[in-house]
Structure 1
Amino acid sequence: MFERILVPVDLGEVDIANRTLAVAEELADKHGARLDVLTVVPTYTMSIVGAAFPKDFAETTLEAVRARLKEMLDARPDGKVTVKGHVAHGTIYDEIMKAANALGSDLIVMASHRPELKDYLLGPNAARVVRHARQSVFVVRDLEKA
């Protein structure tokens, strides 16, 4: 049923990322799918903010994030599933949907924190992906936070 699964992760929330990856790995194993693990480095929302950083800050940051993602994936137990890491730079929900389309994903497995009143049902990135993605979206709740 699923051949290629995209798993967006937040490297600032490694425990949540690992729980989400475990769910995605189980699905991938069951369906014989491969996993693409994506993390997104957000862009500056205002050009004046970007001007305050050194000229090579974006590329240096992307390289550091690539290394952190590789380290996280290398630390996971070896499994039967093929896993490849990807790093994008831009608006988080847009980059998730762009990657899903470009990689030919047929399922997105992503985390969402326990909703607060202001979030209604899902966090802002998960909600946008659920509403706008062409792919099926499996949301893994972070029920650890109450």
Structure 2
Amino acid sequence: MYHKILVTVDLNDPASYELALPQAIELAKASAGELHLLTVVPDMGMPLVEGFFPAGYEEQALDAAKKKLDSLARERLPADTPHEQHIALGNITQRVIEAVEETGADLVVMASHDPDFAQNFLVGSHAGKVVRRSPVSVLVVRA
């Protein structure tokens, strides 16, 4: 089955892990696999925007994300679940794909909200982009 399962976590949206994380835990248990929890802190996107934030903002955001992810892992993962935690900065889809390659994941588990045609048409969902670009299978759990 799956030996390394990458689970994407949006720390600002509990729906991103409330349903997806239990699914990933069950898959990992069934196959004696390990979990890789990934949260991505979006970057500013443009140097112009970055100028409006205080110096060191990205480092502070990464530190805060690490603390939240540590807390989430302690609260939600059974003690006997092998796992690693990963924090990334940048484009969410790109960082997920990079994490698949870096961790050797053979499955990505992520949540997605009910599709909103207008939003997906204009922006596109992160889950949809990962599904299209991922070199491995992606389990999208409807949140």
Tell me the distance in 2 between the aligned counterparts of 1:95 and 1:62. 14
Cα shift at 1:2:
0.9
**Counterpart in 2 of 1:9?**
9
Tell me the distance in 1 between the aligned counterparts of 2:117 and 2:77. 37
CA RMSD of aligned residues (A): 1.4
**Counterpart in 2 of 1:134?**
135
Tell me the distance in 2 between the aligned counterparts of 1:54 and 1:79. 38
C-alpha contact (below 8 Å) 1:29/1:80 kept by paired residues: no
**Counterpart in 2 of 1:125?**
126
- Alignment of 1:104 with 2:99, yes or no, is no
C-alpha contact (below 8 Å) 1:108/1:135 kept by paired residues: yes
**Counterpart in 1 of 2:43?**
43
Structure 2: which 5+ residue stretches go unaligned? none
Runs (4+) of structure 1 moved beyond 3 Å?
none
Q: TM-score, with normalisation over the residues of structure 2?
A: 0.92
**Counterpart in 1 of 2:66?**
66
Higher relative contact order (CA 8 A, sep 6+): 2
Structure 1: which 5+ residue stretches go unaligned? none
Amino acid at match of 2:100: A
Q: Which deviates more, 74-83 or 23-32?
A: 74-83
Amino acid at match of 2:37: V
C-alpha contact (below 8 Å) 2:42/2:92 kept by paired residues: yes
Amino acid at match of 2:136: Q
Tell me the distance in 2 between the aligned counterparts of 1:135 and 1:102. 13
Deviation digits for residues 61-100 of structure 1 (CA, Å, limit 9, x no counterpart)? 1001100110111112525421221100010000000001
Count how many residue pairs are aligned between Structure 1 and Structure 2.
Answer: 140
Q: TM-score, with normalisation over the residues of structure 1?
A: 0.90
C-alpha contact (below 8 Å) 1:40/1:90 kept by paired residues: yes
Amino acid at match of 1:127: G
